[in-house]
Amino acid sequence: MKAIVLTLLTLPLAVSTACAQDTSPVRITGFGTGALTWTDTDGAEYSRPNQASGATKHPVTGVDSNLGLQADYAVNSWLSVTAQGLVRKDAEDDFGAELAWAFAKAKLSDDVGVRVGRLGVPVFMISDYRNVGYANTFLRAPEELYSQVPYKNIDGADVTWQHSYGDTTYMAQFAYGRSKADLAGGLTIESRRVGALNLVAEHGPLTLRLGRAQAHRTTVYDAPTHTSRPSAGHGTFTSAGAGLDWNNIVVQSEYAKRKTGGVAPSKAWYVMGGYRFGKVLPYFTHSELRSEGAVANLSALPAAAAARLSQINNATGAGEQTTDVIGVRWDFHRSLALKVQVDRVRPNGIGLLLNPKTGFHGPVTVGAVALDFVF
Instruction: Give 165-178 pLDDT, tens digit per residue.
Output: 999 999 999 999 99
Summarize the confidence of residues 193-212 as an average pLDDT. Answer: 97
Max Cα–Cα distance, the chain, nearest Å? 62
> Does 292 or 325 have the greater pLDDT score?
325
Question: Among 64-73, 174-183, 239-248, 316-325, whose mean pLDDT is lowest?
Answer: 316-325
Asked if residue 225 has pLDDT above 90, the reply is no
Residue 61 has a pLDDT of: 97
Rg (CA), the chain: 20
Residue 87: C-alpha distances to residues 1, 20, 225, 259, 262 (Å)? 14, 24, 26, 31, 31
CATH of 2-374, one of 1.10.645.10, 2.40.160.10, 3.30.70.20, 3.40.50.800: 2.40.160.10
The closest of 235, 205, 230 to 219, measured between CA atoms, is 230
Task: Give the pLDDT band of residue 5 (cuts 50, 70, 90).
Answer: very low
Percent of the chain with pLDDT over 70: 83
The closest of 143, 5, 3 to 67, measured between CA atoms, is 5
Instruction: Give 258-309 pLDDT, tens digit per residue.
Output: 997 666 789 999 999 999 999 999 999 999 999 876 544 444 444 544 455 5
Overall pTM surpassing 0.95 (yes/no): no
> Half-sphere exposure of residue 19, counting CA atoms within 13 Å on the CB side?
16
Task: Give the pLDDT band of residue 103 (cuts 50, 70, 90).
Answer: very high
Q: Taking all residues of the chain, what is their mean pLDDT, rounded to a whole number?
A: 87
> Does 10 or 160 have the greater pLDDT score?
160
Asked if residue 256 has pLDDT above 60, the reply is yes
Asked if residue 310 has pLDDT above 70, the reply is no
The closest of 78, 8, 13, 69 to 36, measured between CA atoms, is 8
Asked if residue 311 has pLDDT above 80, the reply is no
